Amino acid sequence: MSVRLYTHPACLEHDPGSGHPESPARLRAVLAALDDPRFASLERGEAPRATREQLLRVHDGAYVDAVFAAAPAHGMVRLDPDTVMSPGSLEAALRAAGAACAAVDDVMRGETRRAFCAVRPPGHHATRHQAMGFCLFDTVAVAAAHALEAHGLERVAIADFDVHHGNGTQAIFWRDPRVVFASSHQMPLYPGTGAAGERGAGNIFNAPLAPGAGSTEFREAWDATLLPAIDAFRPQLLLVSAGFDAHARDPLAQLQLAAGDYGWITQRLCGIAGAHADGRVVSTLEGGYDLAALAESAAAHVAALMA
pLDDT at 87 over 80: yes
Question: What pTM did the predictor assign?
Answer: 0.98
**3 state DSSP class of 286:** coil
Domain that holds residue 18: 3-306
Mean pLDDT of 158-162: 99
Q: What is the pLDDT of residue 105?
A: 98
Query: Across the chain, where does the E strand assignment appear?
Result: 3-7, 43-46, 77-78, 84-85, 114-117, 156-160, 179-186, 204-209, 237-242, 281-285
Number of domains in the chain: 1
pLDDT bracket for residue 111 (50, 70, 90): very high
Q: What is the pLDDT of residue 73?
A: 97
List phi, psi (to 5°) of 209: -120, 140
pLDDT at 94 over 80: yes
Query: CATH number for the domain including 190?
Result: 3.40.800.20
Comparing CA positions, the residue from 203, 51, 47, 63 lying closest to residue 136 is 63
Give per-residue pLDDT as tens, 194-205. Answer: 999 999 999 999
pLDDT at 1 over 80: no
Mean pLDDT of 157-177: 99
Check if the beta carbon of residue 44 is closer than 8 Å to that of residue 113.
no
Note if 125 is an active site residue. yes
Kindly state the DSSP code that residue 35 receives in the 8-state scheme: T
The C-alpha atoms of residue 307 and residue 81 are separated, in whole angstroms, by 40
Q: What is the pLDDT of residue 27?
A: 98
CA distances for 129 relative to 43, 72, 172, 178, 284, angstroms: 35, 20, 10, 21, 21
The catalytic position among 125, 247, 276, 301 is 125
The C-alpha atoms of residue 146 and residue 105 are separated, in whole angstroms, by 9
DSSP per residue over 105-173, as a string?
HHHHHTS-SEEEE--SS--TT--SS--BTTBSS-HHHHHHHHHHHHH--S-EEEEE--SS--HHHHHHT
